[in-house]
Amino acid sequence: MQEKFKSIDKGVLFMLLSALLGAVNGAIAKYLSFHMDPMEIVFYRNLLGAMMVIFSIKKSHIKIDTSKLHLLFLRGLFGSLAMILFFFTIATIPLGEAVVLNKTSPFFVTILAYYLMKESISFNTFIALIIGFLGIIFIMKPFGIEISYEHILGVLGGFFAAAAYATIKKIKDIYDARVIMLSFMGVGVIIPVILSFTPYAHFKVHADYFIWILVLLMAVISTGSQWFLTRAYSLSKASIIGVVSYTNIPFAIGFGVLLGDMIPDIYTLIGIILIVIGGILVSRKKKVS
């Protein structure tokens, strides 16, 4: 049993944990969007997360290499733009649709990994991508969805998320995972502050203690999710981790049912099964002969 556990791809396990925490984070963000501007959520989430990461970095006495700071900044910029667009879509369209639009990132990841990092795409990975895509179609039944400005921004957020993941592969051997996370959170604090001086963000004082408890909880959960995600992309091929990230969708559906959503219909169940099959195909390691 122990040998089987050791043979499991650690990157896949980390991505599963990241997806689970990400689903919880999305539910909290959706609730907070009823009370706060999306830019406020992004600002406080990243500010608290950055404080936790800085404490960890100082405690571990980690030195930061300045040779690839431009790539570190790009990871932070791409990741921050992806988060801003994701939180905006969460606040303006149904949570399920926002999650699925964000899940377009694995397709962009596979394309970027092929062209920028020269990663080969195996037959299993290709089939898993198709199965995962079909699973999303069955779950969300998007044929009747009206394409809007918000939906386009959601897909754009998926692209920026993919660009951020691809950048991780370039700097994973140079920077500690916490330093990579700090670049993302640092830029994620600066952008909302800049936008607060424009009509695109509205900051205000909140007196409800429960709101602040949720903000703190979201910061802790999302920081953990980001750490697992960063480690996942550092340990395994981007195309593999991208497919496994689809598990965020069934996780989100499960939490939705617990919160009062309707039990998934037959099409949704088929979609979940397809996503699980795709994850198994892509994460299965070939035995060494």
User: What span, in angstroms and rounded, lies between the C-alpha atoms of 51 and 67?
Assistant: 24
Would you say residue 106 lies in a domain?
A: yes
pLDDT tens string 4-28? 444 457 888 888 899 889 888 888 8
Domain that holds residue 93: 8-283
**What pLDDT is recorded for position 237?**
75
pLDDT greater at residue 181 or residue 259: 181
Looking at 99-113, 158-172, 181-195, 198-212, which range is the least confident one? 99-113
* Contact yes or no for 43/152 (Cβ under 8 A): no
pLDDT tens string 202-225? 888 787 889 899 988 988 888 788
Q: Cβ contacts of residue 2 below 8 Å, gap of 6+?
A: none
Would you say residue 110 lies in a domain?
A: yes
CA 171 to chain centroid: 18
- Number of CB atoms found within 10 A of residue 33's CB: 18
Would you say residue 159 lies in a domain?
A: yes
pLDDT greater at residue 95 or residue 46: 46
In eight-state DSSP terms, residue 172 is T
Looking at 6-20, 59-73, 264-278, which range is the least confident one? 264-278
Number of domains in the chain: 1
pLDDT greater at residue 143 or residue 166: 166
**The two structure tokens encoding residue 273:** 């099964």
263: left (phi over 0), alpha (psi -120 to 50) or beta: beta
Would you say residue 289 lies in a domain?
A: no
Would you say residue 3 lies in a domain?
A: no
**What pLDDT is recorded for position 144?**
57
